[in-house]
Amino acid sequence: MTDKNRILYSSVNKFDSFVLDKMDKNVLADCFLDSSVPPLSMIDGPFGICGIYSSYGLRLYRINDPKYRPEQNALLKMDLYSAESNIIRLCILAAKNGVSEKYYCNLKVTGGEYWADRVLSPKDFKTEENKALLQFSDAVSVSFSSDEPFCLNNLLWI
């Protein structure tokens, strides 16, 4: 049996397990990334701590791995940094009984030289019809996107 791990991501792991979320910006002919825009990058945040960023958005499937599955009643904690005021959109793709649904949560980060920690419960994520996510254990992936640069660090279950 594999040991469980509550840490989904830490900047110590650099780009580990993240993929691009959206191919709608900086993509040529719908399949080639613009070579002048790095697909994933580590951004220096406050206090010399780095975080991961992509102008294409970030997606993590590790949330679906049994090793990283949350315990019942777990909360999702993360640290976010944005130099300017920003809204970061999170999306959890969940599947139950063969039916997939997207659940969204918009986080406002006021900007400035500090890491903003956020703790979210499943009910913070809602469909476009305002139906709340019942449990994180149904999640297949989690994604992060924004119109402005931001970086993410320390994504974990508490």
Contact 57, 140 (CB under 8 A): no
Global pTM reads 0.85
The DSSP bridge partners found for residue 55 are: none
d(C-alpha 23, C-alpha 120), whole Å: 27
Residues, the chain = 158
Domains parsed from the chain with CATH numbers: 7-157 (2.60.120)
Q: Which of 115, 91, 114, 113 is nearest to 104 (CA)?
A: 91
How does pLDDT run along the chain (158 residues), one tens digit per residue?
Answer: 468 888 888 877 776 777 666 666 666 565 666 666 667 778 888 899 999 988 888 999 988 888 988 888 899 999 999 999 999 999 999 998 888 999 999 999 998 899 999 999 999 999 999 999 999 999 999 999 999 999 999 999 99
